[in-house]
Chain A
Amino acid sequence: MDFDDTPEEAEFRQEVKAWLAGQASRYDLTLQGALSLDEQLALGREFQASKAEKGYAKITWPKELGGMGGTPMQAVIYDQEEEKYDFPTVFFAISLGMPIPVMRRFATEAQKQRYLLPALRGKEIWCQLFSEPAAGSDLAGIRLRAVKEGDDWILNGQKVWTSWAHISDFGVIVTRTDPSLPKHQGLTYFFVDMKAPGIQIRPIKQATGGGEFCEVFFNDVRVPDAFRLGEVNGGWQVAIATLMEERFAVTEASGGGASLEDTVRFLRREFNDGHSGLDDPRVRDRIADWYVAESGINNFYARLLTGLSQGQLPGPEAALSKLVIAKKLQSQSSELMNVCGPAGAIYPDHQASRANDHRIAWLEAAGYRIAGGTDEILRNTIAEQVLGLPGDIRVDKNIPFNELT
C-alpha cells in the first residue's frame, strides 16, 4: 500500500503542473466573479483551446481524434492538478463528459471529423436533452415525438433541466418514434443543431436564482436522418451508454461548499457570545462526522483509482460518492449557519466572497441531491446493480406507451 506516483506518473504530473502554472499566469482568475457570462465563456474557450492543443481535453483519446493517447491514470492526474485552479471549465463539463463520447462511439467517420475537434477545443458546446416535464428519474417515459418525413424527422415536444442549452451549439436528444411499442422500445436517439428553426430555449430560474438549466421547446424542428445515433427505436441503448459515461467522472469529496479546513478556520473565530465555535461539543461531534464522510469518500476514491490503474473500470458502486457528498454538504453548511445564530441567514456583503460560501452551498445542496440522479435513484442503483436485489415491479414495462394512462 502506498500513495506514491510511479516515476512515469510523477513525470507527467510535473509536466501538467508546469503547464497549468503557465496558463494561470495568463489570467487573473480572482476577477471572474465580476465577469459577465459572455466574458467568462470567452475566457473559458480560450483556456479550452490551449488545453486541447496539448491533448489534455481528452487525455485517453488517440491523437488523431484530438486526444493525447494517455492512460486513465494520466487523466485523473490532470484533473487533480487542474482542480487546484479556478479555470472556467464548467461550460465544457457536460459537453465533453457525455454527448461527445457518445458521438465518438455512434457517429459516422465524417461526422466525427466534423464535430469532435471543435468541441474538444471549446469552439462548439454540446448539451444533453434528456429529461422532460413528465420524465425525470423515469427517463424512458419521455414524450417528445419524432415523426419520419422523407429523409428527415420532425421533432415536437419539450425538454427540461438541460444544462447550458442556451450557450450550446448542438445537443444529443432522446425522442419517441413509436408510441405503439412499450416505453423502452419506441425511442430513437439523435443529435440536433441547437440553432435549427423551431427550437426555443428558455433558462429556468432556479431556487438559488441561478439559471444554467433550461427548458427547450421543439416546434416542427427538422432533423436529418443522418443525425440519428443508433437504430430506429434503438435509442434506449444509446441513452444508457450516455449515462454510463457519467460513471467515469469519479469524484473526490470536494462537492462545492467550504472545505473542511476552511470550516474549522471559520469555527475557530470568536463569536459574539465570547466563545469559539470549536468550544461547542455538539459542533465538535459534527466535525468528526464530516471528516469521516470526507475521508471515507477520498479513500473509496483511492481504491477506485487503484482498480483503474490495474485496468478495472469503475462499476455502479461509484454511485455512492454523490449520495454521501450531497448529504454532507447540506449538513455541513447548515451547521455553519446554526453556529452564527440569527446572523447565519445573512449573506456576505461582497459578491466576490460568495464562491464556496456555506450559505450559498446550503441552498445548492438541495439541488445537488437531485441533479444527475436523485438520492433515491442512486439507492435503487446500488441495491439492484451492486447488491443484486430484485428490480422494482414495473407496471408499465410491457404495455404499449400510448395505452398508458
Chain B
Amino acid sequence: MHKRFSNVNFDFSEEQKALQKQVQRFLLDRSALSVVRTILDDDALYHSESVWREMLDLGWVGVAVPEEYGGVGLGYLELCVVAQEIGRSLAPVPFSSTVYLFCETVLRCGDSALRESILPDVVTGAQVGTLAFAEGLGFPRPSQIKLRYEEGKLSGEKWPVPDAMIADSAVVLAADGNGEPCLCLVRLDQDGVRRRPLDSVDPTRGQGLLVFEAVEATHLGPTGDAAWKLFRDVLNAAAVLFAFEQVGGAEACLQKSIEFANERTAFGRSIGSFQAIKHKLADVYVSNQLALSNAYYGAWALASDAQELALAASVARVSAIEAYERAASENVQVHGGMGFTWEADCHLFLRRSRSLALAIGDIGMWKEQITSEFEQKAA
C-alpha cells in the first residue's frame, strides 16, 4: 500500500484523554452493570433517567454541539472518547440516537433557524431525539421508501426505531409526493403518532415502532439524491462514533476474559495458562487493536472532514463489528457454562455487540461500501 503516513500525531490529546478518564470513572460509578440490569429486568423501563440526566448536566450530550446552540463546542474527537466509554460501560442511555443520529442530521441539514430551535433543547435534556429510517425487514433503498410526506403531513410507519418509546422528536426518512427521498423533523408528542415497544435481543437499549397518521412534520434540507446523500453522510459519521462504542465494549469483554482466565483453575492449573485460551484471547486482542486503529482512522477522517470519510467510516465500522462480536462471544466461551447464565454479565455484552452490529446496517452492507469506495480510489 502506498505510504500515506509520514510522521503522525495519531492519538488523542492529553485533554481528550483526561475527558475520557472522567467519563470512564463517572460511568463506572453511576452506570455499573447493576444499573444496566434494572433496564433489562423491567419491561417498562427503556433507559436510565438518572444517568442520562447527569450526563446532560456534565455537558457530555452537547460536547460537540457548537456553543451558539448551547453546547460545549468541542469536536468529534471528544465525542469519540465519550462514545468509547459508553460502549465499555453499556450505559443504558439514548446517547447514540440523540447525538450521533438526531443532532448529526440537524447539524448537517444546513438550516440555522432550525438548529437554534432544536439543539438548545437537546443539550439541556428537554428533548431526546432519534432517527427513524428502517421500515421492517432489510435496509431502505431510495426508491423503495413507503413512509409518505405530502402537504406537510407524514403517513406510514417506521420500525425498528431506536429509543422510539422515549424520544420527543425524530428525524424520519420519507418519500415526498413524487416518491423522492426526503428527511423530515417530527414531534412525537402529537395526536396521530402511535408507538409501541418492540422486544429485541438487547433490551438494555429500547427499540420501538412508530406509526404516523397524517402528522405534521417539517421538511429538513434537500430532496431526492441530495437528501439520500445527506442521510448516508449522517450514517458515515454515526458509523465512526458507533465504532468507538463497539471498541469500548470489545475492550471490556477482553478485560473480563483475562480476569476470569487468570482466576479460574481446571486440570490443576489456571485456564489462562492453556494455549487454547491464550491463543483465543491473543486473537481477540489483535482484532481489538485493528478495530481501535481503524476507529482512529475514522475519527481522523470525521474530525478533518476528509474526502475519504465514506471509506474510513466503513472500515471503522466493519472492523468494530468484527472485533466486538468476536470479543463478546469468546468472553462467553472463556467463562464456560457460567458465561451462559442470566447472572453472569457476559450476555449483556453479547446482546449489545449484536444490536450495535445491526444498528445502522449490517456488516455486508458496509463491506460493500468499503469495496466500492476502494475501487474508485484504485481506478
CB within 8 Å of B: which residues of A? Answer: 1-6, 9, 13, 73, 76-77, 80, 83-84, 252-254, 259-261, 264-265, 268, 278, 284-285, 287-289, 291-303, 305-307, 309, 317, 320, 323-324, 376, 378-380, 382-384, 386-393
B275 lies within 8 A of chain A by Cβ: yes
Of A6, A264, A317, most buried by chain B (CB within 10 Å of CB) is: A264
Interface of B is mostly: helix
Q: B183 to chain A: closest CB distance in Å?
A: 28
Question: In the assembly, what is the distance between CA of A382 and CA of B254, in Å?
Answer: 13
B293 lies within 8 A of chain A by Cβ: yes
A293 touches B300 (CB 8 A): no
B77 touches A390 (CB 8 A): no
Q: Which A residues lie within 8 Å of B172 (CB)? A: none
Question: In the assembly, what is the distance between CA of A297 and CA of B292, in Å?
Answer: 11
B286 lies within 8 A of chain A by Cβ: yes
Interface of A is mostly: helix
A324 touches B8 (CB 8 A): no
Question: In the assembly, what is the distance between CA of A388 and CA of B281, in Å?
Answer: 11
B144 lies within 8 A of chain A by Cβ: no
Of B254, B278, B279, B318, the residue contacting A288 (CB under 8 A) is B318
Of A6, A320, A323, the residue contacting B7 (CB under 8 A) is A6
B272 touches A284 (CB 8 A): no
Q: B20 to chain A: closest CB distance in Å?
A: 14
Of B10, B258, B315, B318, the residue contacting A387 (CB under 8 A) is B258
**Considering only CB atoms and an 8 Å cut-off, how many residues of chain B contact the other chain?**
55
Closest A-B pairs by Cβ, 6 of them: A296-B290, A383-B278, A288-B367, A299-B293, A379-B282, A389-B272
Of B269, B297, B371, most buried by chain A (CB within 10 Å of CB) is: B371
A324 touches B290 (CB 8 A): yes
A83 touches B278 (CB 8 A): no
A284 touches B367 (CB 8 A): yes
A393 touches B273 (CB 8 A): yes
B286 touches A390 (CB 8 A): no
B294 lies within 8 A of chain A by Cβ: yes
Question: In the assembly, what is the distance between CA of A278 and CA of B374, in Å?
Answer: 12
Of B12, B262, B286, B290, the residue contacting A292 (CB under 8 A) is B290
B370 touches A292 (CB 8 A): yes
Question: In the assembly, what is the distance between CA of A392 and CA of B277, in Å?
Answer: 11
B9 lies within 8 A of chain A by Cβ: yes
Q: A1-B303, A9-B7 are in contact. Are A300 and B289 (CB under 8 A)?
A: yes
Of B1, B2, B4, B281, most buried by chain A (CB within 10 Å of CB) is: B1
A13 touches B6 (CB 8 A): yes
CB within 8 Å of A: which residues of B? Answer: 1-12, 77, 254, 258, 261-262, 269-270, 272-273, 275, 277-279, 281-283, 285-286, 289-291, 293-294, 296-297, 299-300, 303-304, 314-315, 318-319, 322, 364, 367-368, 370-371, 374-375, 377-378
Q: Which B residues lie within 8 Å of A324 (CB)? A: 286, 290
Question: In the assembly, what is the distance between CA of A237 and CA of B23, in Å?
Answer: 43
Question: In the assembly, what is the distance between CA of A261 and CA of B3, in Å?
Answer: 13
Of A261, A264, A383, A393, most buried by chain B (CB within 10 Å of CB) is: A383
A278 touches B282 (CB 8 A): no
B278 touches A384 (CB 8 A): yes
B10 touches A291 (CB 8 A): no
Of A264, A289, A299, most buried by chain B (CB within 10 Å of CB) is: A299
A selection of 29 A-B contacts at a CB cut-off of 8 Å is A1-B12, A1-B303, A1-B304, A3-B5, A77-B6, A252-B3, A252-B5, A264-B378, A287-B370, A287-B371, A296-B319, A298-B4, A299-B293, A300-B290, A302-B8, A303-B10, A309-B7, A376-B275, A376-B279, A379-B278, A382-B286, A383-B278, A383-B282, A387-B258, A387-B278, A388-B258, A389-B273, A391-B273, A392-B275
B370 touches A253 (CB 8 A): no
Question: In the assembly, what is the distance between CA of A2 and CA of B303, in Å?
Answer: 10
Of A293, A296, A379, the residue contacting B283 (CB under 8 A) is A379
Q: Which B residue sits closest to A309, measured CB to CB? A: B7
Q: B261 to chain A: closest CB distance in Å?
A: 6
Q: Which A residues lie within 8 Å of B12 (CB)? A: 1
Question: In the assembly, what is the distance between CA of A254 and CA of B3, in Å?
Answer: 9
A284 touches B8 (CB 8 A): no
Question: In the assembly, what is the distance between CA of A294 and CA of B375, in Å?
Answer: 15
Question: In the assembly, what is the distance between CA of A389 and CA of B258, in Å?
Answer: 7
A1 touches B286 (CB 8 A): no
B297 touches A299 (CB 8 A): yes
B286 touches A309 (CB 8 A): no
Q: A8 to chain B: closest CB distance in Å?
A: 10
Of B77, B281, B304, B368, the residue contacting A383 (CB under 8 A) is B281
Question: In the assembly, what is the distance between CA of A388 and CA of B262, in Å?
Answer: 9
Question: In the assembly, what is the distance between CA of A265 and CA of B378, in Å?
Answer: 7
Q: B379 to chain A: closest CB distance in Å?
A: 9
A291 touches B370 (CB 8 A): yes
Q: A332 to chain B: closest CB distance in Å?
A: 12
Q: Which B residue sits closest to A284, measured CB to CB? A: B371
Q: Which A residue sits closest to B76, measured CB to CB? A: A1
Of B12, B282, B319, B322, most buried by chain A (CB within 10 Å of CB) is: B282
Q: Which B residues lie within 8 Å of A378 (CB)? A: 282
A1 touches B315 (CB 8 A): no
B277 touches A306 (CB 8 A): no
A383 touches B279 (CB 8 A): yes
B294 touches A259 (CB 8 A): no
B378 touches A380 (CB 8 A): no
Q: Which A residues lie within 8 Å of B5 (CB)? A: 3, 80, 252, 298, 301-302, 305
Q: B373 to chain A: closest CB distance in Å?
A: 9
Q: Which B residues lie within 8 Å of A254 (CB)? A: 1
B10 touches A1 (CB 8 A): yes
Question: In the assembly, what is the distance between CA of A323 and CA of B261, in Å?
Answer: 23
B322 touches A2 (CB 8 A): no
Q: Which A residues lie within 8 Å of B378 (CB)? A: 260-261, 264-265
